[in-house]
Amino acid sequence: MRIDIGNALAAEASPGVSRDALERLDERVARAHDRIERGRHGDEFGYAALNLPATTDADDITETVAPVSDAAYVLVVGIGGSALGAATIAEALGDSRILTLDNVDPDHVSEVLSLLPLAETAVTVVSRSGTTAETLANFLVVREAFTEAGVDWTEQVVTITGDSGPLHELADRHDLPTLAVPAGVPGRFSALSPVGLAPAAIRGHDIAAILDGGARAADLSPSLFETPAYAYGTVAYALDMRGAAVNAMMPYAESLESFAEWFAQLWAESLGKDGLGQLPTRALGATDQHSQLQRYRAGPRNTLVTLVRPRERAEIRVPETDHADLTSLGDTGLGELLDAEFEATEASLAEAGRPSVRIELDRVDEAGIGELLYTMETACVLAGELYGIETFTQPAVEWGKRAARGLVGEDNEESEAVAEKTRLVVE
C-alpha cells in the first residue's frame, strides 16, 4: 500500500502541514508507537485489535460455519461495528449475496426479507452483550419470518457473541454454531475477526487471505515516514489542528463504497471526544465529483479529502463511435476513464490549494481489503494517541443506547432527558 501526503504539505495546501512540522511530530509518533506496541504486547483493551491478523483463527471460523456453508445467501444481523465490517468485506469481494440488517426501519427489514429465499439463507447474528436492542429486535423478526415460511431457523443461524448474555444462552439452548466476539476489541475494530469474516467464510471466500493482507500492514515502524498508517493518522491529526475539521473519504471504486461508511464510524466514534476529532464524510468517485467537489474546492477551507483507489482493476472497453463529440471516448477503458477522473480531482484540489491524501492499494481483493482495513485502524489508533483521547470508548453512543431503551420501557435518567427537551414546532 502507498500513501502520498504531498498534497497536504503547507507549501501546496491551506490548511497544510510543513515538512518541519512533520519532522517534529515524528518524535511524538515514536512515543505513540511505543505505547501502541506495549498495548499490543499486553493484549490491552482496544490495542488487542491490532493483533487480530495473528490471533484470528481462519480455520476455526470456517469449521464453525460449515453447517450453513451451502447457503446461497447470508443475512448479517447487527449494527455499527457488528455489521459494517462484514458489509465492507462482502462488497470488496463483489459478493452481492451477503445482505445486512443494521437498522430497524420496518420498510427496509420487510423489503430485505421479501427478497431472500429463506430456505437458502444463513443468518449471522452479532452482539457481544447479546442485548443490543436493534440487533435483537431484528433477529426476533427474522426468526419469526423463518418460522412462518416453514423453515427451521435453528438450522440456519450462526451466533457471534460474548461468553454470557441472552444470545449466548439462546445458542446454548438450541445448540447453534457460535463464534466469539474477541475480548478486548471494540466492535468498530472487529472487522478482521469472526464478526467481519464469518459471512465471507460461509460464502466460501478465502478469509485467510484477508488476514494475510492485514498482517502485511502490521509490521509497524516508529516513524510516520516509514509506516503508511502512521503517515495518514499524523497528517489527518495535524490538518485537523490547523482547521481541516472535516475528512471526506472518497474511494474511486464502487466496491469500496461500504468501506467509506465503515471508516466514518471508525473515525467518528473513536476520535470525536473532548471537543476534538474530524467529522468524517462519505463520497464516491467519480459520482461525487459532480455533487461534492465544488464544495471541497471552493467552499470553506476546513476539509481534507482522502482519495482511495486500486492500482489494478478490471477493464471494459468503450466502443468506438463516429459521433464527432464522442470520438475521444472510443476505444478507451472505463477504468482508464475512472483513473483520469481520480487524477483530475486530485489536481483540481491541488490547484485550488486544498489538502488531499492519496491512498493506493494494489487491487480490491482479499489481501487488499485486509490491508486497507488494518491500515485505517492503525491510523485511527495513532491519531487517538496524538489527540490524547480515549480512542476505544464511546460514552456518547452508550448514552444514546440507554435513552432508546428507556423510551421503549426501561426507566432511566437518559430517557427523562429526552422527555424534557425543548420544542419549537412549526407546522
> pLDDT tier at 396 (50, 70, 90 boundaries)?
low
At 6-33, the pLDDT tens digits run 999 999 999 999 999 999 999 999 999 9
Nearest to 78, CA basis, from 90, 61, 93, 94: 90
> pLDDT tier at 401 (50, 70, 90 boundaries)?
low
> pLDDT tier at 394 (50, 70, 90 boundaries)?
confident
At 257-303, the pLDDT tens digits run 999 999 999 999 999 999 999 999 999 999 999 999 999 999 999 99
58/416: higher pLDDT? 58
**For residue 407, is pLDDT > 60?**
no
pLDDT at 398: 64
Q: Spot the catalytic one: 254, 257, 336, 401.
A: 401
d(CA 392, CA 395): 10
Nearest to 360, CA basis, from 344, 375, 377: 375
pLDDT at 39: 98
Give the percent of the chain with pLDDT over 90.
Answer: 88
Instruction: Tell me the helix, strand and coil percentages in the chain, rounded to 5.
Output: 50, 15, 35
pLDDT at 251: 98
Residue carrying the nine cell digits 483540481? 348
Q: In what order do the strands lie in the sheet with 246-251?
A: 2-4, 356-361, 303-310, 246-251, 279-282
Mean pLDDT of 188-210: 98
pLDDT at 193: 98
Task: Output the DSSP codes for 309-326.
Answer: EES-----BPPP---TTT
C-alpha cell at 23: 519532522
At 153-189, the pLDDT tens digits run 999 999 999 999 999 999 999 999 999 999 999 999 9
Maximum alpha-carbon separation in the chain: 71
Contact yes or no for 181/124 (Cβ under 8 A): no
**For residue 244, is pLDDT > 80?**
yes
C-alpha cell at 388: 490524547
Q: How many CB atoms lie within 10 A of CB 171?
A: 22
Q: Which helix (H) or strand (E) holds 366?
A: helix 366-387
pLDDT at 402: 60
Contact yes or no for 210/89 (Cβ under 8 A): yes
Angle at 285 (CA atoms; ends 284, 288), nearest 5 degrees:
70
pLDDT at 321: 77
Q: Spot the catalytic one: 91, 134, 269, 371.
A: 269
Contact yes or no for 269/278 (Cβ under 8 A): no
> pLDDT tier at 331 (50, 70, 90 boundaries)?
confident
**For residue 400, is pLDDT > 70?**
no
Return the SS3 of 124.
strand
pLDDT at 319: 82
Give the pTM. Answer: 0.93
At 55-80, the pLDDT tens digits run 999 999 999 999 999 999 999 999 99
pLDDT at 421: 78
d(CA 23, CA 6): 14
Beta strands per DSSP E along 144-245: 157-161, 178-180
pLDDT at 307: 98
Mean pLDDT of the chain: 94
Contact yes or no for 53/192 (Cβ under 8 A): yes
User: First CA to last CA across the chain, in angstroms?
Assistant: 53
Nearest to 233, CA basis, from 70, 344, 374: 374
Phi, psi of 359 (to 5 degrees): -115, 125
Contact yes or no for 185/49 (Cβ under 8 A): yes
C-alpha cell at 120: 437458502
Q: Give whole-number Cα distances, 145 to 76, 156, 400, in Å.
A: 15, 12, 29
d(CA 380, CA 180): 24
C-alpha cell at 241: 489542528
In SS3 terms, 5-50 reads as CHHHECCCCCCCECHHHHHHHHHHHHHHHHHHHHHHHCCCCCHHHH
Task: Output the DSSP codes for 50-108.
Answer: GGHHHH--HHHHHHHTGGGTT-SEEEEE--GGGTHHHHHHHHHTT-TTEEEE-S--HHH
C-alpha cell at 207: 478469509
> pLDDT tier at 397 (50, 70, 90 boundaries)?
low
Contact yes or no for 349/292 (Cβ under 8 A): no
d(CA 197, CA 190): 9
Return the SS3 of 251.
strand
Return the SS3 of 211.
helix
Residue 401 designated active-site? yes
Mean pLDDT of 365-379: 98
Q: Spot the catalytic one: 148, 290, 323, 421.
A: 290
